């Protein structure tokens, strides 16, 4: 099972070819892709038309879902953020800390297209999928 970050899903739904989006296309139907709630929210809120929203929602419906944030996890993820800051790394979006922390805590590899995750993986035990 893997997690696919919003950055890759956006490329996929916009028809942008790239190593990560192409791998996601390959994995859909062949590999279990876990959909954390925060990624589902980020992704679905971005669709401009009702038609695109419904199409995406239908495609994502069969994927297993999981809650990424709880009060205990919020405290734990803040420690990840602080550890990164101590190393001089600032992650731009709190959601990325939640997604990265969720993957670390559940030992799930992450397919992404966002440099913040590369920075996280340089300090934290975040397993990234290299699609090339």
The annotated binding site for Mg(2+) is made up of: 5, 96
Q: Which residues contact 28 (CB under 8 A, 6 or more apart)?
A: none
Helix (H) / strand (E) element for 61: namely none
| Residues linked to residue 128 through DSSP beta bridges, in sequence order | 110
Orientation angle between helical segments 37-45 and 50-60, nearest 10 degrees: 160
Residues comprising the binding site?
A: 5, 96
In this structure, the strands spanning 65-66 and 110-111 are unpaired
Q: Which residues contact 90 (CB under 8 A, 6 or more apart)?
A: 84
Helix (H) / strand (E) element for 35: namely strand 33-36
């Amino acid at each position: 099972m893997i997690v696919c970050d919003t950055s890759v899903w956006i490329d996929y739904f916009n028809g942008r070819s790239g190593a990560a989006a192409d791998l996601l296309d390959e994995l859909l139907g062949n590999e279990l892709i876990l959909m954390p709630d925060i990624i589902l929210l980020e992704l679905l809120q971005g669709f401009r038309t009702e038609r695109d929203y419904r199409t995406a929602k239908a495609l994502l419906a069969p994927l297993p879902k999981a809650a990424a944030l709880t009060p205990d996890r919020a405290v734990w993820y803040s420690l990840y953020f602080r550890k990164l800051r101590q190393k001089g790394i600032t992650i731009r979006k709190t959601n990325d800390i939640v997604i990265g922390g969720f993957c670390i805590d559940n030992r799930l590899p992450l397919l992404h297209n966002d440099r913040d995750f590369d920075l996280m993986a340089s300090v934290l035990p975040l397993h990234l999928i290299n699609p090339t």
